[in-house]
Amino acid sequence: MEFREAMTKPGMLYGVGLGPGDPELLTLKAHRLISKARVIAYPAPDDGESFARAIAAEFIPENALEIPIVVPMRVERFPAKSVYDKAAEDIAHVLREGEDVVTLCEGDPFFYGSFMYLFERLGGRFPCEIVPGVTSLTACASRLQRPLTSRNDVLTVIPGPLPDDEIRRRIEDAQAIAIMKVGRHLSRLKSLLADMGLLSHAGYVERATLPSENVVPLARLEVDAAPYFSMILIYKGDEAWMLPPQFSS
């Protein structure tokens, strides 16, 4: 694809939320932007398919220029800053030539979304629009068929890698809790919740809305590690909230 050499007006950078995985959960606006895009950017692992691209694949025009943002999937630390620095400059080159760039992001761009790292680098330099998506929080609650929170109860979102003491303190201060980034911390988190008397209040969801999803009371989960896209939801309210009806038997 060739771009116009001289433009006085830069292109628009779109951060488009894709939702949790089911393509039918795309918003109408996300669908419109993706299906008409001339340039598409998205995060991608260095080994395997891009989840973001897979969600939107059937809507991406065949002639669109694609800019994969390759992020190594490793337990050890890697220079993520340099990855986003380079991606930002590649995208900036396109924007300076007057082309819009639609950047795909799983879930919502500003809720643990990868797009925030591009926005940090480009948001002050180019016009930008954020298109919110269905978050993993609401998707997991819907699959568990239990409200996230109600009335004046406080909902707290906790990253699983935090130390036990920090997680315990934050759980004690909330009535409803979502623990994200469960992964290899699953066994430790289950032990902590059991010690706090909350294991029977906890539901577990992995790969919400996808064909491979798993929805189960946390106490019945018999594995020691979880995939990246997994979440634990806890509601400390009335006994009626402890388990949804389909898990009561």
Q: Which domain holds residue 101?
A: 13-134
Residues 20 and 121 in one domain: yes
Which residue type occupies 7? Answer: M
pLDDT interval class at 1 (50, 70, 90): low
- Domain count along the chain: 2
Residue 92, Ramachandran bin (φ over 0: left; ψ between -120 and 50: alpha; else beta): alpha
Residues 19 and 120 in one domain: yes
- Residues 149, 171: Cα–Cα separation, whole Å: 14
Q: Please check whether residue 106 lies inside any domain of the structure.
A: yes
**Mean pLDDT throughout 220-232?**
89
Q: How far is CA 207 from the centre of its chain?
A: 11
- Residues 183, 224: Cα–Cα separation, whole Å: 9
Residues 90 and 174 in one domain: no
pLDDT interval class at 222 (50, 70, 90): confident
- Residues 113, 7: Cα–Cα separation, whole Å: 31
In sequence order, what are the residues at sequence separation of 6 or more whose Cβ sits closer than 8 angstroms to the Cβ of residue 117? 80, 84
145 or 7, greater pLDDT: 145
For the whole model, what pTM was predicted? 0.86
Residues 19 and 105 in one domain: yes
Residues 24 and 127 in one domain: yes
pLDDT interval class at 188 (50, 70, 90): very high
So what's the pLDDT on residue 235? 87
- Position 4 pLDDT exceeds 70: no
Q: Is the dihedral of CA 52, 57, 60, 65 positive or negative?
A: positive
Average pLDDT, the chain: 89
- Position 115 pLDDT exceeds 80: yes
Residues counted in the chain: 249
